[in-house]
Chain A
Amino acid sequence: MALLEIRNVTRRFGDFTAVDGVSLAIEAGEFFTLLGPSGCGKTTLLRMIAGFDLPDGGRIELNGRDLAGAPPESRPVRTVFQSYALFPHMTVEGNVAFPLKMARTPAAEIPAKVDAALEDVRLNGFGRRYPHELSGGQKQRVAIARALVTHPTVLLLDEPLAALDAKLREDMQLELINLQKEVGITFVYVTHDQTEALTLSHRIAVMNTGKVEQLDEPSRIYGFPKTRFVADFIGHCNLLSGPVTANAGGEVTLDVAGLGPVRVATGSALAPGRPGTVALRPEKIRIDATASDGTHDNHCRGTVSDLLYMGDVTVYIVDTPGGKKIEALLANSTSGRTTFFEVGDPVEMSWPVAAGHFVEE
């Protein structure tokens, strides 16, 4: 039995259905992420787990016990808020000791537990400071220490890194992974940042318009998106859509407008005539100056119309003669040059049938 069971949970605000029949089973010790654009229902779902909001339908069970009647203060669940929500009139120690005092922990045991929690987030020595004397990253650590000090069953994190700058966010991601391993507490993490979700999670539930579009491991979410939405939302992706013209031998051929026939390996049994999409990651496309050697089954010509130099890689936007824009990505590590091609250069693109991922519509 899973630790946290969300069974067919629905939440409506007037005419708007924020969470629409979501079912999830989150295992003990898991780093689980709810990923989706703003308004997809992920935060509403998190607030219902915390108890700040109640479902209109369905059940939320923790260790097999329905949480419906339990107010937030009596749930063994803690939240790390996006705004940190540190108590400004208390020191770091006071903040971390707060949940211990609420749980009537004997006063003699509190200092050791506070120190241990601050140690976990590498903030020893900061106990006497007030929140306004801390940096954003330090405040975030205090919020996490405060939520973990009572060893909750589940820790909920609501976009905890959103307010930090990019470099600090990366450091904190690593720390969160290590911290979660160390304490072994189930983390339920909410974010709209797909990179963050891929980096941190054991499993990801991609949400859109109140529903779970796909629930899978990060590599499967990235490599095998189930729906067009997931393919588009997670990372960059060329979405090549068109009617199926042939389906045989585990290979589907699509007629993509502006590109021509595109072949893709799939187990799909979609009949010819039905619409489908090939999700093709930019890094899967080979890009050459001359006609390809024919090892790849899909190829097309085009002209570089734009390029985005990102340091480690360069993204080329290639226009096909038929007017389709294809994104292709080339690592810069293989050459001392900054770019391989310039805007206006004619190029040849190719990719094997196994590179794309077929999504039925």
Chain B
Amino acid sequence: MTTRVPERLGKWLVSGPPLLYLVVFFAIPTLIMVLASFRTPGEFGGLAPLVDEAGNLDLNVDSYVRFFTESVYAEVFVKSVGYALVTTLSCLAIAYPLAALIARSPKRWRDLLLLLVILPFWSNFLIRIYAWMIILGPQAALARGVNGVLASFGIAPVALLFSGFAVLVCLVYVHLPFMVLPLYANLEKHDAALLDAAQDLGANAWQRFWRITFPLSLPGVYAGAALVFIPALGIFAIPDILGGPSDSLIGNLIKQQFLETRDWPFGSVLSIVLTVAALLLAGVAAWIGRRSLGTPSSAGAARA
């Protein structure tokens, strides 16, 4: 079995570094966080000693009790899920026609159009958020135009900036490419003969989309929805910068617990609840997807 050894060594050389990376920077921190969620906050922030002066192990579920008994946290949580859902659906509504357009454009145009989709990534995330501050600001053309129209109907002016609206607009803007790319990757593989066949069999343009293109694109829809929903659920920078006082989301709450209130156990609880909720929602979405598609493999075989 001498030949097996280098083969095994090769496998470890390939899979070892990423595995090590995940253990050190993901698995261990997660365990630390889980442990921290059961500990007592320190007097001046951080954590109280694990073993107190009397020699007793100090582990409790106080922080969990607090999350599930004080309704304000559940409300923030529900609001965050709502924002993430609206963001996901808005991204889907904008990205689908865009991805379809790119997938159907001549081959020489596609690379350029895809480049334009990912172009925003070349500038800093925070700078892009601050750019929205200017666009939505009260002195900018947009706000003045909107308020001008409202005034002509006798409606009092509104502030676009520091509102839920501003947060949503920026959430959609930031996450749009994550929806466009998987949708494009899916739609680009569709076999045009299927649409010809559907048309030949009597399907009009809407029926061809609804019965053929859309169901076959669902794997792309789910991938895009996961890529948008999960980060949107935990975001804190956008509500921090563009939101009003009532637009605080779960991400802001977590940041607040760690950096301002310095209640690490409660921050850990919020993080864990967020992670579990995201996993549950993703699982439910995958389950629904599998059921509506019949078999997952048949959808995956959308003719490569």
Binding site for B on A (CB under 8 A): 50, 52, 71-74, 77-79, 81, 83, 85-91, 98-99, 102-103, 130-132, 146-147, 150
Contacts and interface: CB of A to CB of B under 8 A. Distances in A.
B156 interface: no
Contact of A88 (B198, B200, B204, B299): B299
Nearest to B297: A132
Interface stretch (B68-76, B105-113, B211-219): B211-219
Contact of B216 (A89, A91, A150): A89
A132 B297 CA distance: 9
Given A52-B200, A88-B303, A98-B198, 6 more contacts: A83-B191, A87-B197, A89-B302, A99-B201, A102-B207, A147-B200
22 contacts: A72-B199, A72-B200, A73-B200, A73-B202, A73-B204, A77-B200, A79-B196, A81-B193, A87-B197, A87-B212, A88-B194, A88-B298, A89-B215, A89-B293, A89-B294, A89-B298, A99-B202, A102-B202, A130-B294, A130-B297, A150-B201, A150-B202
B169 interface: no
B255 to A, nearest CB: 43
B191 A98 contact: no
A89 B303 CA distance: 10
Contact of B197 (A81, A89, A91, A130): A81
B203 interface: yes
Nearest to A99: B201
B206 to A, nearest CB: 11
Q: Which of B196, B197, B207, B293 has the most CB of A within 10 A?
A: B197
Contacts of B297: 130, 132
A98 to B, nearest CB: 6
Contacts of B202: 73-74, 99, 102-103, 150
B220 to A, nearest CB: 13
Given A88-B301, A89-B293, A146 B201 contact: yes
Contacts of A81: 193, 196-197
The 3 A-B pairs at the shortest CB distance, nearest first, are namely A102-B202, A85-B197, A99-B201
B294 A87 contact: no
A110 B215 CA distance: 22
Contacts of A103: 202
A115 B303 CA distance: 27
B200 A78 contact: yes
Interface of B: 191, 193-194, 196-204, 207, 211-212, 215-216, 293-295, 297-299, 301-303
A150 B212 CA distance: 19
A130 B194 CA distance: 15
Contact of A102 (B203, B216, B302): B203
B291 to A, nearest CB: 13
B176 to A, nearest CB: 27
A132 B298 contact: yes
A127 to B, nearest CB: 13
A78 B201 contact: yes
A85 B298 contact: no
B194 A87 contact: yes
A85 B195 CA distance: 9
A103 B299 CA distance: 25
Given A88-B298, A89-B293, A132-B298, A83 B193 contact: yes
Nearest to A128: B294
Contact of B298 (A52, A72, A130, A150): A130
Contacts of A87: 194, 197-198, 212
A77 B27 CA distance: 61
A43 to B, nearest CB: 12
A71 B199 contact: yes
A147 B294 CA distance: 23
B202 to A, nearest CB: 4
B279 to A, nearest CB: 27
A91 B295 CA distance: 10
Nearest to B200: A79
Nearest to B192: A85
Q: Which of A72, A78, A150 has the most CB of B within 10 A?
A: A72
Contacts of A88: 194, 216, 298-299, 301-303
B203 A130 contact: no
A304 to B, nearest CB: 49
Contact of A130 (B199, B201, B207, B295): B295
A171 B212 CA distance: 32
B196 A52 contact: yes
A77 B198 CA distance: 13
B108 to A, nearest CB: 19
A85 B196 contact: yes
Contacts of A90: 294
Contacts of B199: 52, 71-73
A338 B55 CA distance: 101
Contacts of A72: 196, 199-200
Q: Which of B196, B198, B202, B294 has the most CB of A within 10 A?
A: B202
B207 A50 contact: no
Contacts of B212: 87
Contacts of A50: 200
B197 A79 contact: yes
Nearest to B208: A73
B301 to A, nearest CB: 5
B213 to A, nearest CB: 11
Contacts of B204: 73
